[in-house]
Amino acid sequence: MEPHFQLGIWPEYVFMYLSIIDKPPRKEQMAQQLLQNNLLLTQLPKDTVINMDHTKNRYEFMVETNVKQALERLRDVKKGEFQIGRIIKKRKSFMARA
């Protein structure tokens, strides 16, 4: 599958990711290009998150060390995945009673 934008819903949040998943063609080259140009990623908003497994409800706020690790995993592991984007956490409904 080619890199794509993905919108999704988990019970705790909704997400908007740029996803490199499902063994896309040239994933090693994409990962290497991102590693070599990681300054671009550091310019993203501070609340940007990454996810390394699209099947799991787990994300980490992006910092240089975990991005490097995630991109190296994407490059080196056959089933490596990389998702980067934003989340919106669930809030208590304004209609809910306290």
- Given a cut of 80, is residue 23 above it in pLDDT? yes
Residue range 14-24: mean pLDDT, rounded: 92
Mean pLDDT of the chain: 89
- Given a cut of 90, is residue 60 above it in pLDDT? yes
- Given a cut of 80, is residue 89 above it in pLDDT? yes
Domains of the chain: which residue ranges?
4-89
Sheet strands (E) in the chain: 4-10, 13-20, 49-51, 60-61, 82-89
DSSP 46: T
From 3.30.450.20, 3.30.930.20, 3.40.47.10, 1.10.10.10, which CATH number describes the 4-89 domain?
A: 3.30.930.20
Confidence of residue 14 (pLDDT cuts 50, 70, 90): very high
The C-alpha torsion from 48 through 92 and 53 to 45, rounded to 10°, is: 0
Confidence of residue 76 (pLDDT cuts 50, 70, 90): very high
